Structure 1
Amino acid sequence: MECCCGLLTAEKQPVPLKGIEVELEVKDHVATVVSTLHYENKEDKAIEAVFVFPLPGDAAVCHFSAKVGQTEIVAEVKEKQKARDEYDDALSSGQQAFLLEESEQSSDIFSLSVGSLPPGESASIRLEYIIELAVQADDALRFCLPAVLNPRYQPQGSEGGGVQVTSVPASQVPYSLSFSARVSSPRQVSKIDSNCSLEPLQYLNAEQSQAVVKLAAGHKFDRDVELLIYYKDAHQPAAVVEAGQAPAKPGTLMGDAVVMLSVYPEFPQAVMSSLASSGEFVFLLDRSGSMDCLINNIKKSETRISSARDTLLLLLKSLPMGCYFNIYSFGSRFEHIFPTSVEYSEKTMEEALKKVNEFQANLGGTAIFQPLKHIYNQPCIPSQPRQVFVFTDGEVGNTKEILNLVKKNSTSHRCFSFGIGEGASTALIDGLAKEGGGHAQFITGADRMQAKVMQSLQFALQPTVKDILVKWDLPKGVSVTVLSPPLTSIFQGQRSLIYVQLTGQSSEATDGCVSVEYSLAGHPYQNQLHFALQPTEETGRLTIHRLCARTLIRCLETKETERGGQQDETVKVQVVDVSVQSGVSSSFTAFVAINKASKEAVQGPLLRRNIPTPSINYKAYYRSRPQQIGGAMCRQQIGGAMCRPMPTSFACRLMEGAKKKSKGSIPMIKMRSPTLPAASYCDSIQMTMENADQKFEGGIFHSLKMRMRGSKKKSAPSTRKSADSCVEKTLASSSPTDPWLQLVSLQKASGSWELKPTLAAVLGKTSKEVEKLKPASANENVWATILALVWLHGFKSDAEVEWKLLARKAASWLLSLNAPSVTDCVVAANTLLGCNVQKDTLGL
């Protein structure tokens, strides 16, 4: 009988992982993260502990080591299958071994195996990675320590397999987390915000350019840890030079000097003051079952789908007249409101809003590939640049397949992506924006989706930058190799990073120059930066070299052969070579460490212990059992044999029975787990329901199918917990409940408002009060529009980023009329509403 002492999972199995310590060091906009995982085997038999966990998708994992007693074993990077074989051979011979590998389908999922940990033994695992911090629309630098790993949805027929993950509700994770951060910059650290409670910020010098911060005592490991770092005058172009590694051969990546160039373009104000009035805006909304979960774990917070509906309302009201648009929604299948993109008008806007109000999270799984493919297959509209906005909770397993599709079509559009809720895949969300030349945003904690989306819409409405060219002027004898993909888009105030390798030396000049040339609104522009060739970064950690290696590896991984879409073997060899040379992980390599100093071999078969990862927003009754990220067979060793978990849930048996009854004619999905967390469970069953639609009009499927589609039919109350009661839901009405969103919903496509009782009610007045103070010479719609603008400026100034664009459209409509009574209307509106908003403030 197994000993069940120490920390336990919900299934009463011991958890050998006791705690995680994370130390973050931020230098300007580059972060180094050191995580130490403490293991202890309190059982009476040797164990193999397997932990599948998330990391940022663009992290350069560059160090992995284990300390057992006084012995430290530093892992080596090797070709993945070779590393697995060495790990398996070590376990078979009774040696201690450690394996860290990246998922082949998504760069933000890692699996850590701690093998042959004897009874009573402790081990500390040290994991280190480097990452650039993303710039937010409010100029903050964002660091996120992912904690939540939700199951990823793998559509039928998609490429690749999955990895095993065990999860429990976030509040029940049976190990602790401690987190501290040290921040330093050439500029002042203005403040540090977080979605978690922090101890007071402590400055380390008089200039306030160095600071430390820690998580407050009592932190629960129930969410991703997000830091927002604000510097004073942060966004300045810069070039950081790092010298090569002495033992490495000159001419190789690690032997040569490298440069990290930060580009911050500043466009002329005259160009930026007029936003684009054209474009094709395609909105792609996730309506899978998991979108019915709450955005965060705060009681009575919005569901993801209800927040997305409000966001689409704001987007549609803010679009410029003369553009084109369409709205797609997807689950295991996809829908679109119009057959093709239509011109934006009052009629098309109202038709779209009517259908958006009916959107529910009832389309099954998260199959994003097919709707994206359908969008790209539509011909582009002349003189209407395509802008694709993707809203998803990011729980997919075929990430690389999706990103390859976006990259193939990157010349025809820009892609703006939004990760909704805890556990959204950073590899997917960041990858969509990077490959699509757009901008990525994450909506977590108390964030409002509307604010972040409207910031991205402002980027999308900026004039398109064309013909971007980067030129290097270097001394004779020094050549440059660009490691980053070519710049395809740049935005005002947003950073772009370029990595290059410098080969050779010069005995003369010590300075170099780089120029970024581009065309904007039909005029050529150029930004120049002079920099010293001497190293400006210490070489101890080779931070910039490893970021260069990571960039090169990601570029190589996305290359495909012309036939069949299979990875070219020569590309794989290149990736392995760069990965091994730099010590940075890739999808084709793994870290492996063998404790050869162990004097006594471990006897007998190992007990496998799956370390649970937090999952968010799911009911506690979905217990901790093996699940699969990706939906295919996992790699699991028991007694030296490969095996797969047996699906035993009622739903799986139901599906199998239906399949036999229909003689195998129903396309079936592979169930990922006996006990998937509810939202993903709903996604999987829903997909099978869709496949079964044409085979069964009622019977065993009818009740479950109708409930998962949100059937309006009344049914008897049930106390039995079921898939459609997987999360606490907030009731979403067909119209917004916030007064200011109700005000927005009344705006016309032209930007104006009409003088109606509904407008008066939203403003908190009666129709008589509104009519009484209307200037006699004022047009009714002019009066109504100025009332709405004064109310927004007077009462919702804190949400200006959300309504700024639609208010600008309203002001443009007023200016186009050249109405003589505008000044009188502004005075009367202030009197009626009790505000003091100036005419100039309204843009009039």
Structure 2
Amino acid sequence: MSCCGLLTAQKEPVPLKSVEVELEVRDHVATVVSTLTYENKEDKPIEAVFVFPLPGDAAVCHFSATIGQTQIVAEVKEKQEAREDYDDALSSGQQAFLLEESEQSPDIFSLSVGSLPPGESASIRLEYVTELAVQADDGLRFCLPAVLNPRYQPQGSEGASVQVTSVPASLVPYSLSFSARVSSPRPVSKVESNCSLDPLQYLNTEQTQATVKLASGHKFDRDVEVLIYYKDAHQPTAVVEAGQASAKPGSLMGDPVVMLSLYPEFPKAVMSSVASCGEFVLLLDRSGSMDCHTSDSDEQETRISSARDTLLLLLKSLPMGCYFNIYSFGSNYEHIFPKSVEYSEKTMEEALKKVEKMDANLGGTEILEPLKHIYSQPCIPSQPRQLFVFTDGEVMNTKEVINLVKKNSGSHRCFSFGIGEGASSALINGLAKEGGGHAQFITGTDRMQSKVMQSLRFALQPAVEDVSVTWDLPKGVSATVLSPPITALFQGQRSLVYAQLTGQSSEAAEGGVTVKYSLAGHPSQSQLHFALRPAEDTGLTVHRLAARLLIRSLEMEESDDEGEQDRGVKQKVVELSVQSGVSSAFTAFIAVNKGDGGAIQGPLVRRDVPTAMCSGIIQCCYMSADIQAFADCGGPNLDLECQDDFGLLQDEEVLHCYEGDLETNGMAYSDEDFSAEEVRVALPKQSRRDPLLQLVSLQKASGCWVLDPDLAAALGKTSEEVENAKPSAVNQEVWATILALIWLHGFKKDAQEEWELLAMKAASWLRAQKAACAAECVEAGNAVLGCEVQKDALGL
């Protein structure tokens, strides 16, 4: 068995020549048009199959093909019917094009270009719309997935997995160009990216319109992430979109639809406080792919080592009096405590010792079973459950996982973190959305610690309760809300509400929405007024996003006892998908060229188009007698990093190699060549810990530090320097804690969001000591550390 399926090194031509992507952002909604250019340079007709990622919440709404001067626009049909039409067209020698979504995960699509004759070209146009999520720094995040790592198929799961043909980014044979146009009622302040961009070009003096392009030479080794920043980004807005003239009145596509973007403003006094209770359950992915480097610029830090450091920060930042537990998973799962325990110095230290030993050595990615076990544990009274999930998101059973979170959404909030390139946006966003939490993506040089601590702040915020949305509309006009009820509201996080409007109103009529909620026991409300006259030039973007929302909620509806999707629900999804022209798990886009030309002659040859994978990840196949891990793995002299993340290599047959160790020139290795221990190679631990983490690791659960040589070393001083500078009347722990806080404020101000919560805990501990000489201590601490930090800045 060979690795990775069909690769360019096997000398078989790849017919996909280029991918051109045009992004148009209007406020917080994006329309994306991808043009894929194919050319058959062989002497026989081919079928080209390309499996690729899209954002998990995207609504694919247009698919067409152009051959010569002929354009064929695809139509949406029930999936089996579309496949049969495609097969019939190929068997009769006609050209056909099929675009379908994976049934297991909505962020994987398969594009089949059938019967492309010798010497002929085809241009495929694919269009989708998507909402843009708001980041903690107010940026709107758009991600163009360029990386599709092989997805793990859990043992015993139903349905055939999508066969992903992947190669390292350096071997991708086709080019990518990317351009973006941004427009908003508010000025565009800046556009940033994890990839090199050409300078931002403004199109008007108000700076409300701008264009930007991806610089040439993109290596395909990462997803293209674009962050867009507006001035006054958090103003609530409403867009009313007219229905489709050809659609039936009373239907979703025939009536106007309104999209509300709501940003309740919470009082600063309330938001600055943090809860002192909660059950914090941390779920960490320890599958093989977590051994990947976090970025090319850091050869030592891996996803798993970064996760260990993040868990250290999390555990140090938890409030006294809460409860916690840590689960980790791969092909099976483990937990540190049989059930959640109260947070104390003893339990924290016990957990940290086990965290330090965690490696990416648990095999596959079986996330469903540990989630089931967590949900089977009874909730602790007066301790709201907060679930933090860390994963690189390479699983096939995405919908099953999200459905489980949705069923248990009433008992907890779920915060999710997608680690590395190729993490499934459908999984990461779906966990947070259905779990009423917040999603974060950690890619490139992003620090996992800062993003996770942002989410911990959300989790520790006072809970928003009793959320209600009421409509104030003119007589004769009514709103049917299409969105699920709002259950979670966070500071700086947008909530979108879609509603179908029925009835007639005058052109000058206005509508209003009032959002009421209770925050920390205080009732509050937010209001928005909007014109009912439909906006111009919106196309059907809002309708398609609303249709996508309904389709997803229907797909997630509970299955029957046999696990089969309810036929009535499936029929509703198909009807809505066909009516709106938006893809679903049960439909596909099909286009057939029924031109006057004669049937295409000759046997049809399949060509799989490879997708870029994250640097170094290769899916290796397993044979019972031999481990033939390197045969045909991407051509001569390709250095590989093999990862057992796909359930294909069993416990005693793991082959774990690292870049530069072995060259693959068609060689095959058997289990007689190496013992299991000889081929198991652990990544080196970081030789020197980050000074910030070194200091944090010394903090006690209560929030204080102890005056000892380890603290002096972390502060960059000798024990004598630290001890001699201590004011005589001061307690040693008070002195040590003030020194640590001064060092954090003086030397790590740029990383404040990482240590802010544990510093607040330290300041709270200091205030409880009622030390009378805090000012003298701060002055002495500044002198010994060479800082100028004010006492007020420390929270004293």
For the criterion TM > 0.5, the same-fold answer is: yes
Amino acid in structure 2 at the alignment position of 1:838? Q
Aligned to 2:602: 604
The counterpart of 2:727, out of the listed 775, 795, 799, is 775
**SS of equivalent residue, structure 2 residue 787:** coil
**SS of equivalent residue, structure 1 residue 340:** coil
Equivalent residues in 2 for 1:520-669 (5 A)?
A: 520-539=519-538, 541-618=539-616, 651-654=622-625
Task: Work out the CA distance in 1 between the residues paired with 2:231 and 2:470.
Answer: 29
State whether residues 221 and 615 of structure 2, in contact with CA within 8 Å, keep that contact through their aligned partners in structure 1.
no
Task: Work out the CA distance in 2 between the residues paired with 1:241 and 1:561.
Answer: 34
State whether residues 8 and 14 of structure 1, in contact with CA within 8 Å, keep that contact through their aligned partners in structure 2.
no
Residues 367-387 of structure 1: per-residue CA shift (max 9 Å, x gap): 000000000000000000000
Aligned to 2:400: 401
Aligned to 1:638: none
Task: Work out the CA distance in 1 between the residues paired with 2:506 and 2:235.
Answer: 30
Task: Work out the CA distance in 1 between the residues paired with 2:366 and 2:229.
Answer: 37
Aligned to 1:792: 744
Verify: 1:502 aligned to 2:501, yes or no: yes
**SS of equivalent residue, structure 2 residue 84:** helix
Equivalent residues in 2 for 1:296-695 (5 A)?
A: 296-507=295-506, 510-539=509-538, 541-618=539-616, 651-654=622-625, 679-686=642-649, 688-689=650-651
Residues 178-204 of structure 1: per-residue CA shift (max 9 Å, x gap): 001111111111111111111111111
**SS of equivalent residue, structure 2 residue 170:** helix
Aligned to 2:152: 153
State whether residues 48 and 606 of structure 2, in contact with CA within 8 Å, keep that contact through their aligned partners in structure 1.
yes
Task: Work out the CA distance in 2 between the residues paired with 1:185 and 1:723.
Answer: 58
Task: Work out the CA distance in 2 between the residues paired with 1:352 and 1:736.
Answer: 22
Task: Work out the CA distance in 2 between the residues paired with 1:794 and 1:476.
Answer: 61
State whether residues 654 and 680 of structure 2, in contact with CA within 8 Å, keep that contact through their aligned partners in structure 1.
no
State whether residues 235 and 264 of structure 1, in contact with CA within 8 Å, keep that contact through their aligned partners in structure 2.
yes
Amino acid in structure 2 at the alignment position of 1:552? L
Residues 656 and 157 (structure 1 numbering): CA distance in 2 closer, same or farther, change over 3 Å?
farther
Deviation at 1:221, TM superposition (A): 2.0
Task: Work out the CA distance in 2 between the residues paired with 1:728 and 1:188.
Answer: 52
Aligned to 1:763: 715
> Where do 5+ consecutive residues of structure 2 fail to align?
1-5, 635-639, 658-670
Task: Work out the CA distance in 2 between the residues paired with 1:89 and 1:675.
Answer: 35
State whether residues 264 and 494 of structure 1, in contact with CA within 8 Å, keep that contact through their aligned partners in structure 2.
yes
Amino acid in structure 2 at the alignment position of 1:263? L
- TM-score, normalised by the number of residues in structure 2: 0.94
Verify: 1:838 aligned to 2:784, yes or no: no
Amino acid in structure 2 at the alignment position of 1:731? P
Deviation at 1:172, TM superposition (A): 1.2
State whether residues 290 and 683 of structure 1, in contact with CA within 8 Å, keep that contact through their aligned partners in structure 2.
no
Residues 64 and 139 (structure 1 numbering): CA distance in 2 closer, same or farther, change over 3 Å?
same
Residues 216-269 of structure 1: per-residue CA shift (max 9 Å, x gap): 122222211000111111111111110111111110111100011111111122
Task: Work out the CA distance in 2 between the residues paired with 1:296 and 1:512.
Answer: 49
Aligned to 1:186: 185
**SS of equivalent residue, structure 1 residue 556:** helix
Aligned to 2:246: 247
Deviation at 1:674, TM superposition (A): 9.4
Deviation at 1:567, TM superposition (A): 1.2
Deviation at 1:538, TM superposition (A): 2.2
Amino acid in structure 2 at the alignment position of 1:204? L
Aligned to 1:47: 46
Residues 439-461 of structure 1: per-residue CA shift (max 9 Å, x gap): 00000011000010000000000
Amino acid in structure 1 at the alignment position of 2:284? L
State whether residues 241 and 537 of structure 1, in contact with CA within 8 Å, keep that contact through their aligned partners in structure 2.
no
Residues 464-516 of structure 1: per-residue CA shift (max 9 Å, x gap): 11121111121121121111111111111110111111111135971111111
Aligned to 1:668: none
Deviation at 1:655, TM superposition (A): 8.1
State whether residues 67 and 125 of structure 1, in contact with CA within 8 Å, keep that contact through their aligned partners in structure 2.
yes
Verify: 1:802 aligned to 2:765, yes or no: no
Task: Work out the CA distance in 2 between the residues paired with 1:743 and 1:611.
Answer: 49
Amino acid in structure 2 at the alignment position of 1:732? K
**SS of equivalent residue, structure 1 residue 455:** helix
Aligned to 1:219: 218
**SS of equivalent residue, structure 1 residue 302:** strand
**SS of equivalent residue, structure 1 residue 802:** helix
Aligned to 1:731: 684
**SS of equivalent residue, structure 1 residue 276:** coil
CA RMSD of aligned residues (A): 2.4
Task: Work out the CA distance in 2 between the residues paired with 1:486 and 1:322.
Answer: 32
Residues 77-97 of structure 1: per-residue CA shift (max 9 Å, x gap): 111011101010000000000
**SS of equivalent residue, structure 2 residue 745:** helix
Residues 786 and 245 (structure 1 numbering): CA distance in 2 closer, same or farther, change over 3 Å?
same
Amino acid in structure 1 at the alignment position of 2:540? L
Deviation at 1:563, TM superposition (A): 2.9
Deviation at 1:161, TM superposition (A): 2.0
Task: Work out the CA distance in 1 between the residues paired with 2:42 and 2:558.
Answer: 48
Task: Work out the CA distance in 2 between the residues paired with 1:122 and 1:292.
Answer: 41
Task: Work out the CA distance in 2 between the residues paired with 1:724 and 1:411.
Answer: 46
Deviation at 1:720, TM superposition (A): 8.3
**SS of equivalent residue, structure 1 residue 37:** strand
Equivalent residues in 2 for 1:244-283 (5 A)?
A: 244-283=243-282
Residues 728 and 449 (structure 1 numbering): CA distance in 2 closer, same or farther, change over 3 Å?
farther
Verify: 1:811 aligned to 2:763, yes or no: yes
Verify: 1:34 aligned to 2:36, yes or no: no
Equivalent residues in 2 for 1:15-94 (5 A)?
A: 15-94=14-93
> Where do 5+ consecutive residues of structure 1 fail to align?
1-6, 628-646, 658-670, 690-700, 709-717
The counterpart of 1:754, out of the listed 706, 709, 730, is 706
Amino acid in structure 2 at the alignment position of 1:414? R
Amino acid in structure 2 at the alignment position of 1:684? G
Aligned to 1:103: 102
Amino acid in structure 2 at the alignment position of 1:798? D
State whether residues 707 and 724 of structure 1, in contact with CA within 8 Å, keep that contact through their aligned partners in structure 2.
no
State whether residues 302 and 730 of structure 1, in contact with CA within 8 Å, keep that contact through their aligned partners in structure 2.
no
**SS of equivalent residue, structure 1 residue 255:** coil
Give the fraction of aligned pairs with identical amino acids, expressed as a percent.
Answer: 73
State whether residues 166 and 611 of structure 2, in contact with CA within 8 Å, keep that contact through their aligned partners in structure 1.
yes
Task: Work out the CA distance in 1 between the residues paired with 2:304 and 2:680.
Answer: 13
State whether residues 59 and 582 of structure 2, in contact with CA within 8 Å, keep that contact through their aligned partners in structure 1.
yes
State whether residues 736 and 742 of structure 1, in contact with CA within 8 Å, keep that contact through their aligned partners in structure 2.
no
Residues 265-322 of structure 1: per-residue CA shift (max 9 Å, x gap): 1112232121111000000000011111112333515100000000000000000011
Residues 736 and 478 (structure 1 numbering): CA distance in 2 closer, same or farther, change over 3 Å?
farther
- TM-score, normalised by the number of residues in structure 1: 0.88
Task: Work out the CA distance in 2 between the residues paired with 1:554 and 1:346.
Answer: 44
Verify: 1:204 aligned to 2:203, yes or no: yes
Aligned to 2:660: none
Amino acid in structure 1 at the alignment position of 2:694? Q
Amino acid in structure 1 at the alignment position of 2:765? W
Task: Work out the CA distance in 1 between the residues paired with 2:34 and 2:116.
Answer: 20
Residues 757 and 51 (structure 1 numbering): CA distance in 2 closer, same or farther, change over 3 Å?
same
State whether residues 77 and 589 of structure 2, in contact with CA within 8 Å, keep that contact through their aligned partners in structure 1.
yes
Task: Work out the CA distance in 1 between the residues paired with 2:497 and 2:420.
Answer: 30
State whether residues 243 and 257 of structure 2, in contact with CA within 8 Å, keep that contact through their aligned partners in structure 1.
yes
Task: Work out the CA distance in 2 between the residues paired with 1:505 and 1:742.
Answer: 66
Amino acid in structure 2 at the alignment position of 1:596? K
Task: Work out the CA distance in 2 between the residues paired with 1:64 and 1:727.
Answer: 46
